[in-house]
Amino acid sequence: MAHNADTEVGRLRTVVLHRPGREFMRLTPRNNTSLLFDGIPWVARAQEEHDVFAAALRERGVEVLYLADLLTEALAIPAARAELTTKVLAGNRLGETLRREVGEYLGHLDPGRLAGVLIGGLAHEELRTGSGLVYAMLDRHDFVIDPLPNLLFTRDSSVWIGDRAAVTSLAMPARRRETALTAAIYRHHPRFAGTPLLYDPGLEHLEGGDVLLLAPGVIAVGVGERTTPAGAERLARRVFSAGLAHTVLAVPVAQRRATMHLDTVCTMVDVDAVVMYPNLADSLMAYRITRREGDEPQVDEPGPFLTVASEAMGIDQLRVIDTGLDPVTAEREQWDDGNNTLAIAPRVCLAYERNVCTNAQLERAGIEVIRVPGSELGSGRGGPRCMSCPVSRDPIAGRPLSAG
């Protein structure tokens, strides 16, 4: 089955989501900070909110694939099972005795239960056969295999650029195993087997929340807390070599929790419009990277993001819709992912209902807003775009891949 996505706003056809499960139940006041959550979500309500989100997508004709289902199906293939078991046992944390015992435990699990452990983790008390010094010195509340609550944000571990999947390189230790699961799905699941992989977790840090497909052939990459300049440069080399882009914009983003990715301050809602945090609209800069002979990147001096992006896209002006109506509201709604919208077609997006002022601004600008709840889902600092990995979008009529 062919998959392709070359813009942020082409009609969305297929998306990968992850419904929160046992890994959310494992968040406690002791570990939520290390697992990158700002609070302890009410799990049942978070699941209800996610179900509403998925239903809203289906109602608009979007095929919803669940990552846990894809992983379970992939684990029925011996090569995928061996690959992921080896990865989860790797490293020197477990020691020889515990590594052997965990390997034996995992070896007896069916694909569904194994997927549950790889996502939800394995607690000390669940490994009743544990022995050895490492196991003895673990606190009873510690995990032998850590849970992955951030798997909710499927955007980060992979991004489709054209007909290729870029399995990213996540910066935070709590999230790095996510890409192993994603890579195994793309390599082994029958639906995706044979998909060319554009990037891999062993490369420089690059996260999907920092990658915006502004137009066919034009990609913006945020550089800040999670994505490094080296990651942006590596992606530029890869897309140039594959003929998937003629321009990459490296966009420095402040290295703060509130602005961890480019899509926390800017997302596209139309072929020529973005919703954007107003505090950054005039100050956000971009380095334009173009392809020289031999795929060597040519880096220009930085210029205003809106100007550089418009020129690369071949349009007169990139329209900006502000988050909020005043500085306090703008800051509150940016923190609550007001900018993190998911476009499912030109001028149609999903957004958290709590961002009342930003949603009203979008509607005044002619954007249809499908409101979804996010009071509990937002505790990990991510909105509808963060929670979705578009696999297939329709091309935008009249917008071919060509130099701007």
Digit-coded pLDDT (tens) for 10-27: 999 999 999 999 988 887
Q: Is residue 266 part of a domain?
A: yes
Question: Are 225 and 159 found together in one domain?
Answer: yes
- For 93, 110, 206, 275, 325, the CA distances from 319, given in Å and listed in that order, are 50, 51, 27, 9, 17
Question: Are 112 and 231 found together in one domain?
Answer: no
pLDDT at position 172: 85
Give pTM, 2 decimals: 0.91
Digit-coded pLDDT (tens) for 282-301: 889 999 999 887 768 999 99
User: Which residues are identified as catalytic?
Assistant: 386
Question: Which of the pair, 280 or 369, is modelled with greater confidence?
Answer: 369
Q: Is residue 7 part of a domain?
A: no
Question: Are 159 and 271 found together in one domain?
Answer: yes
Q: Is residue 141 part of a domain?
A: yes
pLDDT band at 312 (very low <50, low <70, confident <90, very high): very high
- Per-residue 3-state assignment (H helix, E strand, C coil) for the chain: CCCCECCCCCCEEEEEECCCCHHHHCCCCCCCCCCCCCCCCCHHHHHHHHHHHHHHHHHCCCEEEEHHHHHHHHHCCHHHHHHHHHHHHCCCCCHHHHHHHHHHHHHCCCHHHHHHHHHHCEEHHHCCCCCHHHHHHCCCCCEEECCCHHHHCHHHHEEEEECEEEECECCCHHHHHHHHHHHHHHHHCCCCCCCCEEECCCCCCECHHHEEEEECEEEEEEECCCCCHHHHHHHHHHHHHCCCEEEEEEEECCCCHHHCCHHHCEEEEECCEEEECHHHHCCCEEEEEEECHHHCEEECCCEEHHHHHHHHHCCCCCEEEECCCCHHHHHHHHHCCCCCCEEEECCEEEEECCCHHHHHHHHHCCCEEEEECCCCHHHHCCCCCCCCEEEEECCCCCCCCCCC
Question: Are 153 and 134 found together in one domain?
Answer: no
pLDDT band at 32 (very low <50, low <70, confident <90, very high): confident
Q: Among residues 128, 145, 162, which one ends one of the domains?
A: 145
pLDDT band at 322 (very low <50, low <70, confident <90, very high): confident
Question: Which of the pair, 329 or 393, is modelled with greater confidence?
Answer: 393
Residues in the chain, overall count? 404
Report whether pLDDT(72) > 60: yes
Contact 282, 266 (CB under 8 A): no
What's the mean per-residue pLDDT of the chain?
89
**Domain count for the chain:** 2
CATH number at residue 138: 1.10.3930.10
Matching residue, tokens 């990995």: 389
Report whether pLDDT(143) > 80: yes
Mean per-residue pLDDT for 227-253? 95
pLDDT at position 335: 46
Which are the contacts of 63, defined by CB distance < 8 A and separation ≥ 6? 13, 14, 15, 392
Mean per-residue pLDDT for 44-67? 96
Domain range for 303: 12-67+149-393
Mean per-residue pLDDT for 224-239? 94
pLDDT at position 258: 47
pLDDT band at 176 (very low <50, low <70, confident <90, very high): confident
Q: Among residues 121, 145, 169, which one ends one of the domains?
A: 145
